[in-house]
Structure 1
Amino acid sequence: MRCYWDEEDVWFYFEVDAEGWVTRQIELEGPELTPIAAASLAEWQQASDTGRLDEYDSRFGITAELPVSEWEGHDPEQLTSDEFDEVWHSAHQQMATRQNPGRPT
């Protein structure tokens, strides 16, 4: 699914599991749709297990910490997994190769 937050001009893309937990999350900012997050729960857990969590967080961000069933005030647009994957691969690759990791200020 995806949602738009107009206060910050950010598109949020979410892949969720059967229980409603976010497994992958993308955030695209501004009219250029600049990736500011492209986080995977599985990658985050692996980084945590290997002691590289700070590095992962600063480069890719984190996924939402609550299941979608507990969210308020969003109006999601459903996406196919192919639509999500297309955005994911582009955003994640851009963030992986970014010279200065971390969220822009």
Structure 2
Amino acid sequence: MRCYWDEEDIWFYFEVDGEGWVLRQVELEGPELTPVAAASLAEWQRACDAGRLDEYDSRFGSTAELPVSEWEGHDPEELTSEEFEEVWGPARRRIASRHR
């Protein structure tokens, strides 16, 4: 799913599980749709367990902390998994290349 936050001019893209928890999240900012986050909950948890959470957050960001059903003020648009992957792959590569 995706939604737009006009106050910050950011598009949010989410991959969610069956209970509405965000598994992966991409944030694209401004008219150029510059990737500012491309975070995976599983990677975030591994970084936390390894004591490297600050490093992960500064590089990839984090995922939403509440399930989608508890969000207020968002009207997400449904996406297919293919549509999410089309955004995830390029955003992730771009962020990774900036932080080498």
Find the residue that maps to 1:64 and give its secondary structure: coil
- Aligned residue runs from structure 1 range 14-93, under 5 A: 14-93=14-93
Could you list the per-position Cα deviations for residues 42-62 of structure 1 after superposition, in whole angstroms to 9, with x for gaps in the alignment? 110111111211110000000
The AA in structure 1 aligned to 2:66 is L
Q: TM-score, normalised by structure 2?
A: 0.96
Instruction: Select between 42-51 and 20-29 the one with higher mean Cα deviation.
Output: 42-51
Measured in 1, the distance between the counterparts of 2:66 and 2:21 equals: 7
1:34 Cα deviation (Å)? 0.3
**Number of matched residues?**
100
Find the residue that maps to 1:14 and give its secondary structure: strand
Q: TM-score, normalised by structure 1?
A: 0.91
Instruction: Name stretches of at least 5 consecutive residues in structure 1 with no aligned partner.
Output: 101-105
Deviation >4 Å, runs of 4+: none
Find the residue that maps to 2:95 and give its secondary structure: helix
Instruction: Name stretches of at least 5 consecutive residues in structure 2 with no aligned partner.
Output: none
The AA in structure 2 aligned to 1:59 is R
Measured in 1, the distance between the counterparts of 2:99 and 2:18 equals: 36
